Chain A
Amino acid sequence: MAPKQSRNPELIRGVGKFSRSKMYHKRGLWAIKAKNGGVFPRHDPVAKPSPAAAKPSKFYPADDVKKPLLNKRNPRPTKLRASIAPGTVLIILAGRFKGKRVVFLKQLSSGLLLITGPFKVNGVPLRRVNQSYVIATSTKVDVSGVNFEKFDDKYFAKKVEKKKSKGEGEFFEAEKEEKNVLPQEKKDDQKSVDAALIKSIEAVPDLKTYLAARFSLKAGMKPHELVF
Chain B
Amino acid sequence: MRYIEIGRVALINYGKDYGRLVVIVDVVDQNRALVDAPDMVRSQMNFKRLSLTDIKIDIKRVPRKSTLIKAMQEADVQGKWDKSSWGRKLIVQKKRASLNDFDRFKLMLAKIKRGGLIRQELAKLKKESAS
Q: Which residues of A contact B (CB under 8 A)?
A: 89, 91, 101, 137-139, 206-207, 209-210, 213, 215, 225-228
Contact = CB atoms under 8 A, between A and B. Distances in A.
B105 A89 contact: no
B109 A137 contact: no
Given A206-B109, A209-B109, A227 B97 contact: yes
A215 B102 CA distance: 10
B98 A227 contact: yes
B100 A138 contact: yes
Given A101-B101, A138-B100, 18 more contacts: A89-B102, A91-B101, A137-B100, A137-B101, A138-B101, A139-B100, A139-B101, A206-B102, A206-B106, A206-B109, A209-B109, A210-B102, A210-B106, A213-B105, A215-B101, A227-B97, A227-B98, A227-B101
A138 B105 CA distance: 13
Contacts of B40: none
Q: Among B98, B101, B105, which residue has the most Cβ atoms of chain A within 10 A? A: B101
Interface in B70-101: 97-101
Interface of B is mostly: helix
- The 3 lowest CB-CB distance pairs between A and B, nearest first, are A139-B102, A137-B101, A210-B105
A42 B99 CA distance: 71
Interface string B106-131: 10010000000000000000000000
Contacts of B106: 206, 210
Contacts of A101: 101
Q: Among B97, B98, B99, B102, which residue has the most Cβ atoms of chain A within 10 A? A: B102
6 contacts: A137-B100, A139-B101, A206-B102, A206-B109, A227-B97, A227-B101
Nearest to A225: B97
Contacts of B100: 137-139, 227-228
